[in-house]
Amino acid sequence: MKRPAIFFDRDNTLIRNDGYLGDPAGVVLVDGAADAVARLRSFGYAIVTFSNQSGVGRGMFTEDAVRAVNAKMDELLVQQNAGAIIDAHEFCPYHPDATVEAYRQDSDLRKPKPGMILKAAEEMGLNLSQSWVIGDAPRDIEAGRAAGCKTILFHDSKLPPSEAAREAAIGEPDYAVTSLRRAVEVVARQTPGAMPEPSAPAPAAKPQAADSETSPAPQVNDDEAAVSRKIEPTSHQRASSSSVIRAAVEARRSTATSPAPTQTTGTVQNARLDIIAQQILDELRRHRHVAEGDFSVSKLLAGIMQVLAGAILFLSFLYRSEPATMQPIMLLAIFLQVFTVALLIMGQQKQ
């Protein structure tokens, strides 16, 4: 019998990295990563990472550097939990615009294509229909859907979203969570024989419907409530004109293969809104930082003073044959130049 697997995206899912990482010294685990890997493995799942590593194709680091980062991640996972063992690492070094010619291609391995998942399934004998993909970016979800896996979109509000995570979503994930612990609970509820992690008893509340495979039960007073099922798309996720074509193809394919959408609960909507709100906040902070670094009133005034000083110097040149007129003009030009320097110094101090 083929074994199911959990396919983890690596960067900003298991380790903190919103850019390019080729140095093992920079590996830092995401909170709860080791326990999540260990628990999911205890349910009988193989654990596989699959990651786009275009930094290789861009000449930023080598394939050996990617393997070194993966090895360091393995080491840190086992240090925190002896059961946190990853069975295989898949990565794609290719990119259509790679600067290194050997890696310049539109590879089927590169997400959002499902090549890495299909490759691992063939080599390891995996059951993809019972497997899961957990990642922080729409391309992870799209790759998982294309391979026939169930999908979980993960976004920890303590992690800055990567460029990949900001991409427009084409297909919706089966679930969205804000912690790896919650992702494990989602998988546990859908895995026969898996025991959910014990939790503290909740305060007395009105009886709720029994948990089912298609409608996760909402939690009472749980600040980590972050599970969603078949969430409706939001306006910020609409794709650009080129993405709309892919969206239509995906919609046509999913119509024939996906089960009918289920009713969304209040917890579902809150979970998705929490993720969206955090992404908007991170984007506003990023733009504010750029704006403050590039503009100030002092710099604007300094620029105006510099233009005036130049104009007055030119005027003094025209009156060079009349010393009585030229000298006051020159003094004014010098004053404006000194004032310009003072404004620039003030602008630097404010930063």
Residue 182's pLDDT band (boundaries 50, 70, 90)? very high
Residues that are catalytic: 9, 11
Helical H runs in the chain? 33-42, 54-57, 63-80, 115-124, 138-147, 180-189, 241-257, 266-294, 297-318, 323-350
Phi, psi of 7 (to 5 degrees): -100, 110
Closest CA to 17 of 166, 180, 162: 162
Residue 8 scores a pLDDT above 90 = yes
Average pLDDT over residues 121-139: 96
Q: Among residues of the chain, what percentage have pLDDT more than 70?
A: 68
Amino acid symbol at 51: S
d(CA 319, CA 329): 9
For the chain, what are the domain ranges? 5-266, 295-350
Radius of gyration (Cα) for the chain, nearest Å? 28
Q: Are 47 and 85 in contact (CB under 8 A)?
A: yes
Q: Which of 37-51, 151-165, 297-311, 333-347 has the highest mean pLDDT?
A: 37-51
d(CA 223, CA 216): 16
pLDDT of the residue at 338: 85
Average pLDDT over residues 29-37: 97
What is the token pair recorded at 80?
Answer: 């925190």
What is the token pair recorded at 288?
Answer: 């504010």
Asked if the bond preceding 323 is cis, omega within 30° of 0, the reply is no
Decide yes or no: CATH 3.40.50.1000 for domain 5-266.
Answer: yes
What is the token pair recorded at 154?
Answer: 């993960």
Residues 6+ apart with CB under 8 A from 175: 151, 152, 153, 183, 186, 216, 227, 228, 229
pLDDT of the residue at 300: 83
Q: Are 85 and 75 in contact (CB under 8 A)?
A: no
Higher pLDDT, 57 or 221: 57
Q: Are 139 and 164 in contact (CB under 8 A)?
A: yes
Angstrom CA distances, 197 to 35, 39, 122, 156, stand at 11, 9, 32, 20
DSSP string, 327-340: HHHHHHHHHHHHHH
Residue 164 scores a pLDDT above 80 = no
3-class DSSP assignment, residue 45: coil
- Residue entry with tokens 């393997």: 67
DSSP string, 161-200: PPTGGGSPPSS--SEEESSHHHHHHHHHHTSTTPPPPP-P
d(CA 89, CA 10): 9
pLDDT of the residue at 130: 97
Instruction: Provide the mean pLDDT of the chain.
Output: 78
Q: Are 109 and 63 in contact (CB under 8 A)?
A: no
Higher pLDDT, 32 or 252: 32
Residue 245 scores a pLDDT above 60 = no
Q: Are 162 and 144 in contact (CB under 8 A)?
A: no
Lowest mean pLDDT among 46-50, 169-173, 294-298: 294-298
Q: Which of 134-138, 238-242, 299-303 has the highest mean pLDDT?
A: 134-138
**113-125: pLDDT as tens digits:** 999 999 999 999 9
Residues 6+ apart with CB under 8 A from 249: none
Average pLDDT over residues 84-109: 97
Average pLDDT over residues 237-243: 39
Q: Are 236 and 222 in contact (CB under 8 A)?
A: no
3-class DSSP assignment, residue 26: helix
**53-82: pLDDT as tens digits:** 999 999 999 999 999 999 999 999 999 999
Burial 316-335, CB ≥16 within 10 A → b, else e: beeeeeeeeebeebbebbee
pLDDT of the residue at 12: 93
Residue 143's pLDDT band (boundaries 50, 70, 90)? very high
Angstrom CA distances, 87 to 8, 38, 74, 83, stand at 11, 12, 10, 11
| Angle, alpha carbons 29-31-36 (nearest 5°) | 90
pLDDT of the residue at 268: 47
